[in-house]
Amino acid sequence: MQQFTNQIALVTGASTGVGFGIAQKLHSLGATVVMTGRHEDVLTQAAQEITPTGERISVIKMDVASAKDFQSTIEQVEMKYGALHFLVNNAGVTGPHGVNIEDYPLEAWHDVIETDITGAFHGLKYAIPAIHRSGGGAIVNLSACNGVTGIAGIAPYTAAKHAVLGLTRSAALENAQKGIRINAVGPGYVETPNIAMLPQDTQNWMASTHPMGRMAKTEEIANVVAFLLSTDSSFITGAFIPIDGGYTAQ
């Protein structure tokens, strides 16, 4: 795969789980990685795990739901590194599980929508001009397998992940001739620290929903994201790639 030497990548929600795995992968391929999240101490610890020396890595505390935060972050990246080539819109929340729409708390609805949809919109709005100024690059948005299916009990999250695909496709068309490719991936259940805290029978059920009979590893998500950012995928834009062990093929 292409190396990302001298390329600047911004990964949101990078302190743990899939976001951490993506940041780690891009760094291993030579990119300079900017990790963002809501908790600076957790981010700093994650960055040190990737590289104790701090080489080619930095952290910025940011809430993707805040336009001001996202705009400031892009400005900081350009000021420090002089460019931005890649964005991974990974940050997201699922909200309460197993709650029907009529019982879903309005506050939780707004939290999911503001983080998952508005956060992705902010990333596109402020990163696209910066990537254009840097001579082009690529963006990957994290949707989910339920970005193309319905799942009862988490309607706001399902709606948000469907919306991420709409944003991806529109943005891809708008930038198809501007040197910026924009794609989305749809993970199924992934083995993350948060998932590992769930009861074993719940984890077993999650694994069983995939025809392959297991959950994804974070590196399996990161590998596809890295591919979509690289020139190896130079004729792919506006695409949605499920990484779900066959879930959406059912």
Q: What are the residue numbers of the active site?
A: 157
Report the C-alpha gap between 45 and 22 in whole angstroms: 16
16 Rama class: left (phi>0) / alpha (psi -120 to 50) / beta: beta
Instruction: In the chain, count H helices and then E strands.
Output: 9, 9
Beta bridge partners of residue 243, listed in sequence order: 187
Look at strands 180-187 and 240-243 and give their pairing.
parallel
Alpha helices for 94-198 (secondary structure H): 106-113, 119-133, 155-174, 193-196
Q: What are phi and psi of 237, to 5 degrees?
A: -150, 150
DSSP category for residue 215: P
Q: What angle do CA 172, 90, 70 make, to 5 degrees?
A: 80
